[in-house]
Amino acid sequence: MGSPKKRSRRRNRSRQPTHARLGQHFFKSGSVARQIIRSIRLQKHQSVLELGAGEGFFTSLISPDVRSIAAIDVDP
């Protein structure tokens, strides 16, 4: 997966467009993402369903803190 910066560079090199109609947003700041995740107050016994997982940025941050996670995205 790599860091957010590396993913952003990879996406820019491949000219992968964002799809505004799908509500896509790419985080450039890992600290903002971590603040969002902390606010959810996940617990080890929980299972999580992540909708709109994209490249798995949040999935990779959430997975160590929960029992299981399923990530789904409509954009291949």
- The full set of domain ranges for the chain reads 4-72
| Per-residue confidence (pLDDT) for residue 39, from 0 to 100 | 94
pLDDT in tens, 15-34: 556 565 666 666 667 788 88
10-19, 28-37, 58-67 — most confident range: 58-67
* Cα 66 to Cα 11, 50, 57, 61, distances in angstroms: 28, 12, 15, 10
Percent of the chain having pLDDT more than 90? 36
Q: How far apart, in whole angstroms, are the C-alpha atoms of residue 6 and residue 47?
A: 28
DSSP run (H or E) holding 51:
strand 47-51
Under 8 Å between Cβ of 74 and 21:
no
- Whether residue 26 contacts residue 9, with contact meaning beta carbons closer than 8 Å, is answered with no
Architecture of domain 4-72: 3-Layer(aba) Sandwich (3.40)
Model pLDDT, residue 54 = 85
Rounded to two decimals, the pTM is: 0.61
Bridge-partner residues for 48, per DSSP?
Answer: 69
